Structure 1
């Protein structure tokens, strides 16, 4: 199977404009993400897909590969679908540009679910990690996911799911990590479907798959680092980098 990693990278982020060009140590956030993805050695190709000349130049000037988006896009999946439409690929992994602490093991676990007889049924997969801190469980910037016994997603939400009504029960909360793997055709199908009501309400693009009846296989990872959504996240990431 041909496996490629695409890193969608918008410059004008709503909550933290220009976050991908913020310095984290001696490199920008997007450069950390790109170089760490390449360093896993898992992919036949790694490409940053961006709407920004600044981000494009940052990657290319430092020896990386980047493509400019032709059209405006509402989601990262739409952005990478445009980029891979004419590429030869079986599995496409969407690594978010604001995930500078990319590691090999979680991405390998993500790719492995497409192998074997059971893997032939998987169309889309994504990562999650256990979320324990109450302030993060309540924080709408942290997307939560509930899963069934087969580790397929039941629902994604910015609210705390499940709601902890019975205090005698200790539910497990999972944070959805915005790293996806798709069979190429599943990704192309996604871009042909109109935005759905849950997706529009929550601003969580993977809800479109659930509303169209496509299961998302979820893989638990122990550690994926810090997603840079706010200036506070950047400070936490700088401490982790040390």
Structure 2
């Protein structure tokens, strides 16, 4: 079984232009993501997908594989699908290009269900919510699952909403102590054919309302396997986030 990890990496980030090439202890951020992804035991190969020659040149510079894509893509999934259509792979992993601290074990955790069960088309990760801020923040996506570990819904709103405990939602201990409170970790695993079909699906009402692509899968009647991880990562959206990453790496 061939499992290919693809890292979509844009240069023209709105909040942090050029972040894919931001220097982190002597290496561009995309190199940190690439090297950590390559250490995942279940990954056969790693590819960076970009529409910018500056990113491509940097990847070639450290010996990585890069595929150029259209600059017209509106989402990372579209960029991923363009590359997936060209390659020979059974399973495709979407690793975010702004996660320089991603743990290789997280990638393996997300892949494992699809590697073991041919009926699973798509998978992702969740982790326990550890702060009231995250539970209430629309920038932190929440997820609830069924008893078999499949997603029921993803939302930017508090999820679940404890109807009879509304006042308790202002209590940090109440929220962080709930076994039901999880945030979505944006790492996706797809069977290649399903990814190509997903990219062709028309955006759906809930997807457009929440601005969450994965809802398109649920609204079309497909299931997403969600694995809980204990690992934490830091996404880099701003220069301040970059400082946090450098601080964490420096302390190890």
TM-score by length of 2: 0.88
Between structure 1 and structure 2, the one with the greater Rg is: 2
Tell me, yes or no, if the aligned pair for 1:129 and 1:222 is still in contact at 8 Å: yes
Does residue 80 (structure 1) correspond to residue 88 (structure 2)? The answer is: no
Q: 2:200 aligns with which of 169, 192, 201?
A: 192
Closer/same/farther in 2, CA of residues 165 and 23 from structure 1, 3 Å limit: farther
- What pairs up with 1:31-46 in 2 under 5 angstroms? 31-46=31-46
Deviation of 1:47 after TM superposition, in Å, equals 0.3
Q: Tell me whether 12-21 or 207-216 shows the greater mean CA deviation.
A: 12-21
Q: Tell me whether 166-175 or 208-217 shows the greater mean CA deviation.
A: 166-175
Does residue 220 (structure 1) correspond to residue 228 (structure 2)? The answer is: yes
Alpha-carbon distance in structure 1 between the residues aligned to 2:114 and 2:96: 20
Does residue 144 (structure 1) correspond to residue 137 (structure 2)? The answer is: no
Deviation of 1:192 after TM superposition, in Å, equals 1.1
Tell me, yes or no, if the aligned pair for 2:84 and 2:196 is still in contact at 8 Å: no
RMSD of aligned C-alpha atoms?
1.8
Tell me, yes or no, if the aligned pair for 2:41 and 2:108 is still in contact at 8 Å: no
Does residue 5 (structure 1) correspond to residue 5 (structure 2)? The answer is: yes
Q: 1:180 maps to what in 2?
A: 188
Q: Tell me whether 15-24 or 94-103 shows the greater mean CA deviation.
A: 15-24
Secondary structure at the aligned position of 1:97 is classed as coil
Q: Which residues of structure 2 form unaligned runs of 5+?
A: 169-173
Does residue 209 (structure 1) correspond to residue 217 (structure 2)? The answer is: yes
Closer/same/farther in 2, CA of residues 88 and 132 from structure 1, 3 Å limit: same
Please list the CA deviations of residues 135-154 of structure 1 after superposition, one character each: whole Å capped at 9, or x if unmatched. 22222222211111111111
- What pairs up with 1:25-174 in 2 under 5 angstroms? 25-70=25-70, 72-116=72-116, 119-167=117-165, 171=178, 172-174=180-182
Tell me, yes or no, if the aligned pair for 1:141 and 1:229 is still in contact at 8 Å: no
Alpha-carbon distance in structure 1 between the residues aligned to 2:246 and 2:21: 14
Secondary structure at the aligned position of 1:113 is classed as helix
Larger helix proportion of the pair: 2
Alpha-carbon distance in structure 2 between the residues aligned to 1:75 and 1:151: 26
Deviation of 1:24 after TM superposition, in Å, equals 2.4
Closer/same/farther in 2, CA of residues 63 and 115 from structure 1, 3 Å limit: closer
Tell me, yes or no, if the aligned pair for 1:42 and 1:104 is still in contact at 8 Å: no
Alpha-carbon distance in structure 1 between the residues aligned to 2:12 and 2:212: 18
Q: How many residues align?
A: 240
